[in-house]
Each structure stands twice: as structure tokens, then as C-alpha cells.
Amino acid sequence: MYSEVLHFIRSVFHEPEEFIPLHAPYFGGNEKKYLADTIDSTFVSSVGAYVNRFEEMMCAITGARYAIATTNGTIALHLALVVAGVKPGEEVITQPLTFVATANAISHANGIPVFVDVDRDTMGMSPEALRAFLEAHAEMSGGFAVNKHTGRRIAACVPMHTFGFPCRIEKIAAICTQWNIPLVEDAAESLGSYSNGRHTGTFGLAGVFSFNGNKTVTCGGGGALVTNDPGLAERAKHLSTTAKVPHAYEFVHDEVGYNYRMPNLNAALACAQLEQLPEILANKRDLAAQYGRYFSGSGNFTFVSELPGTNANYWLNTIVLENAAVRDELLQVSNAAKVMTRPIWQLMNKLPMYSQCMRGPLENALWLEERVVNIPSSYRPHASVALPSNAGTAENTN
């Protein structure tokens, strides 16, 4: 059973024997040229033309009015939570099935993570689970949602678009509006993913993206915060640049800020990568279509596909095993055969630092944790793919 799957994966990557990674970066454009520009100009650090250009490109791609470039996605999320108003000791609702950075960023903001279940099909936060948790445990007090049991304000909600599949974000946004809970999307994995024509990360107060080496496009390390709120954008940029007040020569800082701004070197790489985003997305969607056809006849695996009305970037292709008992064997056999596969993350509430956090019922997260495996998903330079005319463009700017 496995050897046939591994053979198929090797055939789509035109790679009969060498190691096939889960997700390798692809540098097929102006990367070297733009990097050389930064060195020639001496502007390699956090001031430079590419940083501004990167922010403009992120606005164009996502349709958000403002983008702030940061050194990575984790701190973009930290910054987003701070500017969204999370205060020490307040609660932030998120999903237990996520990369640890989501929960860590909440901790960095001195917030307390609270976990609600995911949907099985999107692997992202379940609006029903969110609603049920709030109805059971929250009440409105002074215009804010407060956890009745802990007395703490519920200061933000952070759903995550797992592996680039948009979660049911419109429904989540409506629930957050009803409870006056700021919505901050962890869109680290979903650059190029849309729900009903609107880019992920733009449904709430703020959204964050990552440009780490394993993501859809990379600049070595980098992140972005996007928002439509001018005041929030201004404060995020101010805090990300040591809260320095502009002055001809004096060092004036008006609050405790951070050194979070993306260097021009990384921004140069990011600009070159974003120029290729439509091509990379088309290439990845072609790979996903081939996987989808292959696994459609299989009784042992379900290939995860985008929901109707959504457009996934297929960052990491995902199969769900019918029989959870074979997961470890599949992981061992494939990795030993140099075809890289990975299980989904351990649930956050099972990690020592988050084991005491409050949570709702987590049936779907537990079910997925035992069954989800990611399979090789890199851009394939040999694939010949027709570009869809609207790939990577924002169809809705608001």
C-alpha cells in the first residue's frame, strides 16, 4: 500500500531516488539581483526601499489597506495582539491544533490561551465550537466579553488557516462581532488563500503572515501584519521600530517598543518571491490536483481539498488516514524511503506550558491529531502549468 503511494509521489516530482523534502523554497526570479541591490546601496538593515515595496506588495496581494513588515511571523502575531488591546492576564481564544507559535505569541503578549475545537474538514477553528464555548462560559460586562469562571476579559480570538485551507472565517468573524471580541487571524500559512474572493487575514482587526523558509514563499525569515485600521497600523509600525518619535537628531521614544522591523536584505528577497506568487500558487494547485485525482480512488486515505467558495494555496498537501493505527508506520516507511512526510502538530493543550489552559471539548482536534499526515508539497520546476488569469490577485479590497 505505501510503496505504491511513494512511487506516485516520486513520479510527480520526477525524482526516482533522491530525497524529496516536504517543502523546499523556490528561487526562480529576481532574488539575487535584488539582494545585490541592497548591498550596492549599503541599505541592508531596517531602513530601505525594499521594505516599503514589500509592504505595498502585501497590500496589493491581500487587499488590506496597510501592511507592516516584521522580522518573523511569530512577532507579527505578538505585535497584532498588543495593538488589538490584549493586556496581561486577559484571555485569548485560539485552536489547539496549530503550530506552537500561535500559542507562544499569545504568551509573549502576556495573554492566556484558551482552546476551542476545530472543524474536521478545514482543520481550522470551528465557529460552532467557538459559539458553544462563549455561550457556556462568557457573559457581556461593560461592553466586553468576560469569562464567567475566571473573571478575565476575553481580549482576542485567533483562528488559524491550517496548511493554507481557509477556516470558516466569515462565521467566526460574525461571532466575534456579536461578542465584541477583536479578531486577529493567524494567516501565517495562508498567503494566497481566499474565502469568497477575500484574502485570508483581512476578515478581522488584523492578520499576520510568515515568510519563514518552509512557507509558500520565503525571505529567510520575515513576517507581515495587515490591517484596514489606520490607527492600528500606525501604532504597530511605531511599536515595531522601538517606538521612536521622529526627530532630526534626538533619541525620543514614547513607550516600550520592539525591534521588530524587517531588514531590507530580507525584504529584497521577499519582493522577488512575491513577484512569483501567482506562478508558485498555480504550480502548487496543479500538484494538489494530481494528488487529489490519485487519492480519490483510495479507501485508505482522504486527500484534503478546499471547501466550495474558498481558494487554498495548498501550502502543505494533506492526507487523512482512515485507520489511525497505521500512521506511525506510514511516517517511518516514507521517511526511511527518503520521501519526507510529517504528522500534524501535537495539540497545544498536551504541551507542558499549555496543559493547564482552559478548553472546550476537543473531539475533532484529537481525531485529526491521530490521522493527519503532510506529503511533499514543493514547487516543481519541471511542471508545465497554465496560469489562471486572476491567480494571486485580490478580488475584493475591503
Ranges within 270-299 binding ligand PLP (CB under 6 A): none
List the one residue from 55, 91, 185, 186 that touches ligand PLP (CB under 6 A). Answer: 186
- Is 193 a binding residue for ligand PLP by CB under 6 A? The answer is no
The stretch among 20-28, 93-101, 276-284, 318-326 that binds ligand PLP (CB under 6 A) is 93-101
Minimum CB distance to ligand PLP, residue 77 (Å): 6
Radius of gyration, alpha carbons of the chain: 21
The DSSP 8-state label assigned to residue 309 in this structure reads T
- Is 189 a binding residue for ligand PLP by CB under 6 A? The answer is yes
List the one residue from 35, 86, 156, 188 that touches ligand PLP (CB under 6 A). Answer: 188
Minimum CB distance to ligand PLP, residue 104 (Å): 8
* Residue number closest to ligand PLP, CB atom: 73
Rounded to whole angstroms, how far apart are CA atoms 241 and 223? 14
Minimum CB distance to ligand PLP, residue 212 (Å): 4
Interaction mask 218-257, ligand PLP, x per CB under 6 A: -----x----------------------------------
Rounded to whole angstroms, how far apart are CA atoms 59 and 80? 16
Ranges within 21-80 binding ligand PLP (CB under 6 A): 72-74
Nearer to ligand PLP, 147 or 266 (CB): 266
CA distances to 105, 183, 189, 191, 356 from 162, in Å:
17, 17, 7, 11, 24
List the one residue from 94, 193, 212, 240 that touches ligand PLP (CB under 6 A). Answer: 212
List the one residue from 210, 264, 302, 364 that touches ligand PLP (CB under 6 A). Answer: 210
CA distances to 13, 35, 192, 241 from 46, in Å:
38, 14, 26, 9
Ranges within 140-169 binding ligand PLP (CB under 6 A): 160
- Is 185 a binding residue for ligand PLP by CB under 6 A? The answer is no
187 HSE (CA, 13 A, CB side)? 32
| DSSP for 28-94, written as a single string | -SSHHHHHHHHHHHT--SSSSHHHHHHHHHHHHHH--SEEEEES-HHHHHHHHHHHTT--TT-EEEE
C-alpha cell at 244: 521612536
Nearer to ligand PLP, 138 or 217 (CB): 217
314 Cβ contact list (under 8 Å, min separation 6): 163, 164, 284, 285, 287, 288, 306, 377
Which residues form the interface with ligand PLP (CB under 6 A)? 72-74, 98-99, 101-102, 160, 186, 188-189, 210, 212, 223
